[in-house]
């Protein structure tokens, strides 16, 4: 429980405090400026006093063990002093200097040593390679920046950033929100983002949690922290770097961690109700939206503007960003045309300039939109303004803001005041609106996108599918792969639709099976050690009669002999001549466990990388959404006289695959259903492969 000593200390020892201008002296002054009312202990053998305070020669001389030691010294002095701090009973430490895991081998060893000291002593540690901790409401700091205006820092955003400069950038703009806690966590040698999230979930001053993350240290703990935050009604906004290969390579050298496959990570965030954003603009807009007194409960956004051109631009940008702005329903349209003026376009965005008497038309327009049952959020966007404008009547900006605040007060729905560009805003307007509990947002893509993100966060997830099925005993095996025939029997047991087929070992059996199944048939080799049969010419499709079957059998026998790999036998299978080839599969992410994938077969997966991912188990609605979000999904619809594929059957197939994977979560390494034929009615798995998890990988 020493994390409290780190984040909300009652005493701070400043190691390396000095009379000269230095980080150490700065830290003492920062503590004074922020109004810290606990004990401050400057430590430096060269001084008897620093900034008018008694200065101690070493940690051992302190009258009491400090809550936290702020290491304002270089990395070569860290080990020795950390040991002294641990011996003297310090509860926590902040190490700012770099030269640890981020520089490679030697640094990693040093970092492991400091982590070991802390773990053994039960100390919390922020860093190394970080800027420290700032707690504005508690008026404490170990953050490596001067404090100029402590009051302005206070707010409800808890920021946990692995990058110190990102933290400093966000702290530079306090116009719309302040901070309940800021942790620049650096290399996270001991305390990690998950532990900080866990702390602020219970912190009454924190309303929203913002994280800038390079790598997740402990996936299980991280997910547990996200779940706890969601349960407590605190959104976790996640900006994760490492979406591109080149950035991932840089991160390994930077914070000394590994950034996992970013698409898997995105799905994990969604499944645990975190809000993922792609850049700092989106990040700050979500934090701004959270400042509103009311939060959106759906994505029915209605925008009001003061000009037609602006309305058109907003609609264009929103459309290309995938933000739905649904047209006004007829009743609202008619009311607007009657009370406000003629509508150009379909009323969303609504140009409410009307007859030019904006003071009366705007409140009317806002009321009508708020009354529309399909409206979840009302957004007002007039021309952008900034402080000290050169043009326009002074006070005009605040007037607009007041008009809007009055409308918001009369409504039960959240209202947002939006500028056309992110970051461009007028402090007078922010003041008026903040008092009214109305959030100020900026930029169509970022601002409206943020409303949509918070609305989605505010919508409960559909329940995850519960598995009733017992694990399949066939997966407890030493086999490296389970071949098509056995895999299909196992999967069929979980309700997955498979081809009609017979396992055979001789030519007479082969001929008999084909007669029963009916021509045309497919002939394949069945062997654990040949997972990709057609690579070796061991799949013969479209065999129309017995003559063709016999010829294929003979050739396949020769092929098997040439290959020299032992086989189990052959498979005679119905030939599926219709349907679109799709694939579904399960794979095990090293950090986040089983992931289910769906995509179009062939080039769709391999070349275009067009596939959808979700963690196992699926939630209700996931399968349909996965099918819908692949670009290739269009090929499943009806076109050029071809009827549409049975997407409902395909979705059922994905759910059954999820059930299988969930029931066998410990025993599955990989499943490959490639292809599945999506037919006009139903779908059928044509090829299957299961890779069991090797015993050493399994949980005890």
* Residues forming the site for ligand ADP (CB under 6 A): 499, 522, 524, 532-535, 539, 541, 573, 575-576, 581, 674-675, 686-687
- What string marks each residue from 628 to 667 as x (binds Mg ion by CB under 5 A) or -? ----------------------------------------
Which of residues 360 and 534 has its CB atom nearest to ligand ADP in the complex? 534
CA distance 288 to 420: 15
Task: Please answer whether residues 49 and 95 qualify as being in contact, where contact means their C-beta atoms are separated by less than 8 angstroms.
Answer: no
Helices (H), 347-480: 358-371, 396-410, 427-435, 449-458
Provide, rounded to whole angstroms, the least separation between the CB of residue 523 and ligand ADP: 9
CA distance 627 to 637: 11
| Residue 129: φ, ψ to 5° | 65, 55
Which of residues 330 and 577 has its CB atom nearest to ligand ADP in the complex? 577
Decide if residue 484 touches Mg ion (CB under 5 A): no
Task: Please answer whether residues 104 and 79 qualify as being in contact, where contact means their C-beta atoms are separated by less than 8 angstroms.
Answer: no
Contact partner at residue 360 from ligand ADP, Mg ion, none, CB < 5 to 8 Å by partner kind? none
Contact partner at residue 575 from ligand ADP, Mg ion, none, CB < 5 to 8 Å by partner kind? ligand ADP
| Cα within 13 Å of Cα(595), Cβ side | 22
Q: Which residue has the tokens 């707010």?
A: 155
Provide, rounded to whole angstroms, the least separation between the CB of residue 678 and ligand ADP: 13
Following DSSP, what letter does each residue of 158-198 receive, concatenated?
A: EEEES-HHHHHHHHH--SS--EEEEEE-TT-SSS-HHHHHH
Which of residues 492 and 541 has its CB atom nearest to Mg ion in the complex? 541
| Residue 640: φ, ψ to 5° | 45, 50
CA distance 137 to 155: 8
Provide, rounded to whole angstroms, the least separation between the CB of residue 74 and ligand ADP: 59
Decide if residue 687 touches Mg ion (CB under 5 A): yes
Contact partner at residue 270 from ligand ADP, Mg ion, none, CB < 5 to 8 Å by partner kind? none
C-alpha 220 chain-centroid distance? 15
Decide if residue 67 touches Mg ion (CB under 5 A): no
Contact partner at residue 573 from Mg ion, ligand ADP, none, CB < 5 to 8 Å by partner kind? ligand ADP
Q: Strands 11-15 and 39-43, how do they pair? A: parallel
Task: Please answer whether residues 136 and 150 qualify as being in contact, where contact means their C-beta atoms are separated by less than 8 angstroms.
Answer: yes
Contact partner at residue 522 from ligand ADP, Mg ion, none, CB < 5 to 8 Å by partner kind? ligand ADP
Which of residues 189 and 540 has its CB atom nearest to Mg ion in the complex? 540
Provide, rounded to whole angstroms, the least separation between the CB of residue 504 and ligand ADP: 15
CA distance 598 to 645: 15
Which of residues 14 and 689 has its CB atom nearest to ligand ADP in the complex? 689
Provide, rounded to whole angstroms, the least separation between the CB of residue 205 and Mg ion: 56
Enter the tokens of residue 672. 């490959």
Contact partner at residue 74 from Mg ion, ligand ADP, none, CB < 5 to 8 Å by partner kind? none
Which of residues 501 and 687 has its CB atom nearest to Mg ion in the complex? 687
Provide, rounded to whole angstroms, the least separation between the CB of residue 488 and ligand ADP: 11
Provide, rounded to whole angstroms, the least separation between the CB of residue 693 and ligand ADP: 21
Contact partner at residue 588 from Mg ion, ligand ADP, none, CB < 5 to 8 Å by partner kind? none
Cis check: omega of the bond before 427, within 30 degrees of 0: no
Contact partner at residue 532 from ligand ADP, Mg ion, none, CB < 5 to 8 Å by partner kind? ligand ADP
Which of residues 535 and 700 has its CB atom nearest to ligand ADP in the complex? 535
Contact partner at residue 154 from Mg ion, ligand ADP, none, CB < 5 to 8 Å by partner kind? none
Provide, rounded to whole angstroms, the least separation between the CB of residue 253 and ligand ADP: 39
Following DSSP, what letter does each residue of 547-558 receive, concatenated?
A: HHHHHHHHHHHH
Enter the tokens of residue 651. 């979705």
Q: Other C-beta atoms within 10 Å of 154: how many?
A: 16
Contact partner at residue 576 from ligand ADP, Mg ion, none, CB < 5 to 8 Å by partner kind? ligand ADP
Contact partner at residue 533 from ligand ADP, Mg ion, none, CB < 5 to 8 Å by partner kind? ligand ADP
Sheet holding 350-351, edge to edge: 350-351, 301-305, 377-381, 415-419, 439-442
The residue at minimum Cβ distance from Mg ion is 687
Crossing angle for the helix pair 330-339 and 358-371, to the nearest 10 degrees: 160
Provide, rounded to whole angstroms, the least separation between the CB of residue 529 and Mg ion: 16
Provide, rounded to whole angstroms, the least separation between the CB of residue 632 and ligand ADP: 16
353: nearest Cα among 389, 314, 310, 396: 310
Provide, rounded to whole angstroms, the least separation between the CB of residue 562 and ligand ADP: 17
Q: Considering only 38-46, 161-169, 261-269, 686-694, which stretch makes contact with Mg ion by CB under 5 A?
A: 686-694
Q: Considering only 215-223, 382-390, 503-511, 682-690, which stretch makes contact with Mg ion by CB under 5 A?
A: 682-690
Provide, rounded to whole angstroms, the least separation between the CB of residue 676 and ligand ADP: 10
Which of residues 365 and 689 has its CB atom nearest to Mg ion in the complex? 689
CA distance 484 to 612: 24
Provide, rounded to whole angstroms, the least separation between the CB of residue 574 and ligand ADP: 6
Which of residues 520 and 593 has its CB atom nearest to ligand ADP in the complex? 520
Which of residues 376 and 687 has its CB atom nearest to Mg ion in the complex? 687
Binding residue count for Mg ion, defined by CB under 5 A: 2
CA-to-CA separations, 111 to 16, 59, 83, 188, in angstroms, rounded: 20, 21, 13, 10
H or E element at residue 381: strand 377-381
Contact partner at residue 67 from ligand ADP, Mg ion, none, CB < 5 to 8 Å by partner kind? none
Q: Other C-beta atoms within 10 Å of 659: how many?
A: 21
Of the candidate residues 70, 111, 180, 674, the single one contacting Mg ion (CB under 5 A): 674
Which of residues 232 and 532 has its CB atom nearest to Mg ion in the complex? 532
Contact partner at residue 440 from Mg ion, ligand ADP, none, CB < 5 to 8 Å by partner kind? none
3-state secondary structure of 675: strand
CA distance 49 to 17: 9
CA-to-CA separations, 261 to 429, 587, 591, in angstroms, rounded: 42, 12, 9
Q: Other C-beta atoms within 10 Å of 52: how many?
A: 8
Q: Other C-beta atoms within 10 Å of 679: how many?
A: 18
Contact partner at residue 686 from Mg ion, ligand ADP, none, CB < 5 to 8 Å by partner kind? ligand ADP
CA distance 570 to 572: 7
Enter the tokens of residue 530. 């040949």
Q: Which residues of 196-206 are buried (b: 16+ CB within 10 A; e: fewer)?
A: bbbbbbebebb
119: nearest Cα among 97, 88, 96, 86: 86
Provide, rounded to whole angstroms, the least separation between the CB of residue 660 and Mg ion: 18
Contact partner at residue 497 from ligand ADP, Mg ion, none, CB < 5 to 8 Å by partner kind? none
Contact partner at residue 432 from ligand ADP, Mg ion, none, CB < 5 to 8 Å by partner kind? none
Provide, rounded to whole angstroms, the least separation between the CB of residue 539 and ligand ADP: 4
Q: Considering only 224-232, 460-468, 611-619, 680-688, which stretch makes contact with Mg ion by CB under 5 A?
A: 680-688
Q: Considering only 223-231, 360-368, 627-635, 671-679, which stretch makes contact with Mg ion by CB under 5 A?
A: 671-679
Provide, rounded to whole angstroms, the least separation between the CB of residue 636 and Mg ion: 19
Residues at the site binding Mg ion, with contacts judged by CB under 5 A = 674, 687
């Amino acid at each position: 429980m020493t994390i409290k000593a780190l984040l909300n200390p009652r005493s701070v020892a400043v190691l390396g405090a000095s009379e000269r201008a230095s980080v150490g002296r700065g830290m003492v002054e920062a503590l004074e400026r922020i109004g810290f009312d606990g004990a401050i202990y400057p430590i430096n053998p060269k001084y008897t006093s620093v900034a008018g305070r008694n200065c101690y020669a070493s940690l051992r001389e302190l009258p009491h063990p400090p809550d936290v030691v702020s290491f304002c010294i270089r990395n070569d002095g860290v080990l020795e002093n950390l040991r002294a701090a641990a011996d003297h009973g310090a509860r926590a430490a902040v190490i700012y200097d770099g030269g640890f895991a981020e520089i490679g081998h030697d640094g990693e060893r040093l970092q492991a040593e400091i982590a070991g000291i802390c773990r053994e002593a039960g100390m919390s540690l922020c860093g190394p390679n970080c800027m420290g901790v700032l707690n504005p409401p508690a008026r404490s700091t170990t953050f490596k920046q001067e404090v100029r205006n402590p009051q302005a820092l206070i707010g409800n955003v808890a920021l946990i950033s692995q990058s110190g400069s990102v933290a400093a950038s966000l702290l530079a703009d306090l116009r719309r929100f302040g901070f309940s806690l800021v942790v620049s966590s650096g290399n996270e040698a001991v305390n990690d983002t998950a532990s900080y999230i866990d702390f602020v979930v219970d912190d009454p001053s924190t309303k929203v949690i913002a994280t800038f993350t390079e790598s997740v240290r402990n996936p299980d703990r991280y997910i547990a922290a996200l779940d706890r935050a969601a349960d407590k009604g605190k959104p976790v906004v996640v900006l994760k770097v490492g979406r591109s290969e080149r950035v991932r390579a840089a991160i390994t050298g930077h914070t000394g961690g590994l950034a996992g496959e970013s698409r898997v990570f995105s799905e994990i965030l969604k499944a645990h109700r975190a809000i993922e954003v792609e850049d700092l603009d989106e990040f700050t807009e979500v934090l701004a939206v959270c400042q509103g007194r009311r939060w959106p409960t759906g994505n029915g956004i209605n925008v009001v503007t003061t000009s037609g051109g602006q309305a058109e631009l907003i609609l264009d940008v929103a459309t290309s960003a995938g933000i739905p702005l649904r047209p006004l329903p007829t009743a609202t349209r008619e009311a607007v045309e009657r009370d406000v003026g003629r509508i150009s376009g379909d009323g969303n965005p609504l140009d409410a300039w009307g007859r030019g008497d904006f003071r009366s038309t705007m409140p009317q327009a806002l009321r009508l939109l708020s009354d529309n049952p399909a409206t979840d959020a009302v957004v007002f966007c007039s021309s952008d303004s900034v402080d000290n404008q050169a043009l326009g009547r002074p006070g005009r900006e605040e007037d607009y803001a007041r008009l809007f605040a009055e409308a918001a007060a009369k409504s039960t729905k959240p209202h947002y005041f939006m500028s056309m560009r992110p970051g461009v805003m007028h402090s007078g307007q922010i003041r008026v609106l903040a008092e009214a509990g109305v959030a100020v947002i900026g930029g169509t893509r970022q601002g409206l996108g943020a409303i949509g993100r918070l609305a989605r966060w505010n919508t409960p997830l559909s329940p995850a599918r519960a598995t009733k099925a017992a694990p399949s005993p066939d997966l407890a095996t030493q086999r490296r792969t389970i071949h098509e025939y056995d895999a299909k029997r196992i999967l069929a047991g979980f309700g997955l639709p498979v081809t009609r087929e017979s396992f055979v070992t001789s030519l007479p059996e082969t001929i008999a099976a084909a007669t029963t199944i009916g021509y045309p048939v497919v002939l394949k080799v069945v062997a654990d050690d040949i997972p990709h049969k057609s690579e070796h010419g061991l799949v013969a499709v479209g065999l129309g009669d017995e003559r063709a079957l016999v010829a294929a059998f003979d050739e396949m026998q020769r092929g098997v002999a040439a290959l020299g790999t032992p086989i189990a036998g052959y498979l005679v299978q119905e030939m599926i001549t219709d349907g679109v080839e799709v694939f579904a599969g399960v794979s095990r992410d090293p950090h986040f466990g089983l992931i289910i994938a769906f995509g179009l077969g062939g080039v769709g997966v391999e070349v275009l990388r067009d596939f959808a991912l979700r963690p196992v188990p699926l939630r209700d609605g996931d399968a349909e959404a996965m099918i819908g979000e692949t670009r290739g999904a269009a090929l499943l619809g009806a076109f050029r006289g071809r009827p549409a594929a049975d997407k409902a059957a395909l979705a059922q197939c994905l759910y059954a695959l999820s059930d299988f994977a969930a029931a066998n979560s410990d025993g599955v390494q990989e499943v490959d259903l490639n292809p599945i034929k999506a037919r006009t009615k139903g779908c059928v798995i044509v090829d299957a492969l299961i890779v069991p998890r090797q015993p050493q990988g399994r949980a005890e």
